Structure 1
Amino acid sequence: GFIRIGSDPYMHPLSLELGLEMASQFGGKSYLPNGDGTVSVINGNTSLKGYWNAFVPGGKDITDGENYKNAEGNQLGSWMMRLNLEKDLWKAGLYVDKFFEDHSAMFQLDYDGYGSGEEWQVKKKRRYVLYDFKDWMIGFDLNMKYGTWLRNIVVEYIYTKYQSGPIYHDHTTTIPDHIGGTDNYYNHNIYPGWQHWGQVMGNPLFRSPIYNQNGSIFVQDNRFMAFHLGFDGRPSDNTRYRVLATYQEGLGTYGSPYNDLRHNISFLVEGEYKFTRSLLRNWSVKGGYAMDFGGILGNNYGFQLTIAKRGSFSL
């Protein structure tokens, strides 16, 4: 759900966009390997209640037990905000993406007033824990409507190292403090994480399982900090280019941290030329070169050449 507060940009150049986006993996059949070589089969809830718990998070997974009830399925989402300012010659936006995987990062607040001993599950005090506002993406974009050599600029910063803190997830009979830490972004104990055929969905800076050497579908680097810069231009009516560059430093995960801080740099340079003469009208050629180098994705490089025809063929 999203809401936009604003009017005609020519009369009121300032506008605000607010929204909440959520997604869920649920149901299905999961196969969990055991230490003795056997496999446990987990059947997800496919009843009408299971669909409801996917839409409005609730219930619990089969593996949760009675004492620790988490929302059913693999739940994740984002709070989003964007502030726009539009003028005759340019428009700019400042945006924030506050992502989360459970209530500790969704509301930044958790109840922490349980008793001890036999009353370890009883709410005894008015006590709450406030989590730090650390994990989010902050971006700025600028569009110069009639720019030539420089048309669009995007700058982004993302931080995912906190994950509600490096501590146990729930209180116990001996530890009354309830902290919802180690959220382990994009990974789940039942479902195969937020990925499809080895490629992470949503944000490519979470290291995709397709890079794993051991064949697992585990996101091995979800604690990182990164900066991204992108810009493009149209020097003439029939030429354009774009440049994308990203710097990233990763720590692995809380459960499987890297021995040392790892770095990665990725960039793309791309150019396109559209033919305007009658014989080749509506034809274009585009070339791009990209590289990764560092300890997260390894050293990779590639070149892409695209020849395109827009419109219909006149035979």
Structure 2
Amino acid sequence: MYHRLRVGLLVVFCLSIGNLFGVFAQHSTDYYSLSMAGNAGNGIFAPYYLSANKHGLVTHSKSGYLRASVFKGLEMNKRFSYEFGIDLVGLMSSTSPVSYYSDGNLKTYNPGVSSFLIQQAYIGMKYRMIFISAGCRELTDEVVNFELSSGGLVWSGNARPIPQVRAGFIDFVDIPFTKGWVQIKGELAYGKFMDNDFLRDHYNYYNQYITTDALYHHKSISFRSNPDKPFVVTIGAELAAQFGGTKRYYKEGVLIDSLTMKSPTRLKDFFKILFPSSGDGQTNEGDQAYYYGNHVGQWNLSAEYRFKDNSSVRGYFEWYYDDASGMGKFNGWDGLWGLEYKSGKKNWLSNVVLEYLDMTNQSGPLNWCPSDYSDPKLDIEATGADDYYNNYFYNGWAHYGLSNGTAMAKSLLYNTDGYMRYKHNRIRGVHLGASGYIAPEWKYKILASYRTSWGTIFLPLADTQHDMSG
């Protein structure tokens, strides 16, 4: 079944006032700004490219916000430096209906939308090339071009920021004894999901778990060849996880107390997330049979060649995985594959990105573990049916209902039936992004995507869905 792109009335008004009384420091990242934006449409939700990869600010068809920000950046030419940022948003927005069960009866209501958001609030410092920061800030995927890409697969900048403590290398540093030919960069973070109220308001209380107070973990490491050479290769890995929290099971609006469980968050559990391992007797049976928490990750590689005229061509991929089978690349061609061209000039075509996304293999259609069944006893294991971004206990790899990974996987927010899991994670898509200058001070950007969805491994669609956005 083909779904045509619905184009409604869209009115966007933006006013940006920056550096009203001067700048803090020339060529620095210190600034303050005041901005306004609004949109109006005839549907329930905002058009795809008005909401995708916007850090969760725009979701519904009618909204407007006033945003005030102050930032002080790190001074990289100093051994010791500090930074801070505060980004406040006053918001008005339409809402979307949600169905839920109460005492066995199906009801519908429209949850409210917060009128005030602390979008970013953080402090940080560095000494030489080591940094530490605390708070919530808008972070993006370092492999893809955030402005033109469809988005990274683990953390794309599509969802609201997660408060966290981060530490690591501020940038790539030379590995000793390699004479600058190999550099390393890495970071480690722990944080907390803040969307308890959203989950309670949008969950259908029907026949699945809802997990609140979940904690967040992220780590990454990358190696890069000499960046001063024309040909530069970067290879890395990224892992993230949900863990802890209280898991409650509802059946047709009624809480099943016997299934309520609180996952431990002892010091050793933080290490179990850092070095993925199975849970102990205080964790649920799933954590004991597999791994403690819900893990997602990717392998990534980027290879760029710079020409003498300062233009460049780059190829890259992100190989997503949900478990060890995907980590071992038993999931076929699944991943994000991209090409990027940069002209190195402010001309009519300064930057082009072309991407192909495949999430259909998922390591095969079946999954079982020998410990899943006591009778009959199964001596072999099938590690398929990865069901990307979904988890039995946790409410999908999302924050405030929006995908932490690619926005092409339709987010939980759009499930007006209150199903707090992904319904569209077996997808293929192509994406094109381009930008350039029609005049020295006039820049344009074009984004277009085409996606096909087969639903999920466990909830397949009777007919495939085809969507185009641009």
The interval holding the TM-score normalised by the smaller chain is 0.7 to 0.9
- For the 8 Å contact 1:77–1:101, the answer to whether it is kept is yes
> Match of 2:314?
93
1:252 positional shift: 0.4
1:35 positional shift: 6.8
> Match of 2:240?
23
**2:107 maps to 1:107:** no
1:88 positional shift: 3.0
> Match of 2:279?
60
- CA distance in 1: counterparts of 2:447 and 2:225, whole angstroms: 31
SS at match of 1:205: coil
CA spacing shift, 1:197–1:65, aligned 2, 3 Å? closer
Letter in 1 for 2:321: F
- For the 8 Å contact 1:32–1:42, the answer to whether it is kept is no
> Match of 1:285?
none
Letter in 1 for 2:365: P
Letter in 2 for 1:178: E
**2:465 maps to 1:262:** yes
> Match of 1:82?
302
- For the 8 Å contact 2:354–2:431, the answer to whether it is kept is yes
- For the 8 Å contact 1:16–1:81, the answer to whether it is kept is yes
SS at match of 2:383: coil
SS at match of 1:210: helix
* Aligned mate of 2:388, from 155, 176, 185: 185
Q: What aligned pairs does 1:120-269 form with structure 2 within 5 A after superposition?
A: 131-171=330-370, 173-267=376-470
CA spacing shift, 1:103–1:65, aligned 2, 3 Å? closer
1:193 positional shift: 1.1
Letter in 2 for 1:257: P
- CA distance in 2: counterparts of 1:88 and 1:169, whole angstroms: 54
Structure (1 or 2) with the larger CA radius of gyration: 1
- For the 8 Å contact 1:169–1:182, the answer to whether it is kept is no
RMSD (Å) for aligned C-alpha atoms: 1.8
Relative contact order higher in (CA < 8 Å, ≥ 6 apart): 2
Letter in 2 for 1:4: R
- For the 8 Å contact 2:332–2:363, the answer to whether it is kept is no
Identity percentage of aligned residues: 28
- For the 8 Å contact 2:235–2:301, the answer to whether it is kept is yes
- For the 8 Å contact 1:3–1:18, the answer to whether it is kept is yes
SS at match of 2:368: coil
Letter in 2 for 1:250: S
With normalisation by structure 1, the TM-score equals: 0.72
- CA distance in 1: counterparts of 2:294 and 2:241, whole angstroms: 5
1:202 positional shift: 2.1
**2:252 maps to 1:49:** no
Q: Deviations over 1:288-313 (max 9, x none)?
A: xxxxxxxxxxxxxxxxxxxxxxxxxx
1:176 positional shift: 3.2
What stretches of structure 2 of length at least 5 have no aligned partner?
1-220
Worse-matched range after superposition: 173-182 or 14-23: 173-182
1:146 positional shift: 1.5
Q: How many residues align structurally?
A: 241
- CA distance in 2: counterparts of 1:36 and 1:63, whole angstroms: 23
1:70 positional shift: 0.7
What stretches of structure 1 of length at least 5 have no aligned partner?
109-130, 268-315
SS at match of 1:193: coil
CA spacing shift, 1:3–1:170, aligned 2, 3 Å? same
- CA distance in 1: counterparts of 2:446 and 2:366, whole angstroms: 40
- CA distance in 1: counterparts of 2:398 and 2:447, whole angstroms: 23
SS at match of 2:303: strand
Worse-matched range after superposition: 147-156 or 53-62: 53-62
- CA distance in 2: counterparts of 1:36 and 1:96, whole angstroms: 43
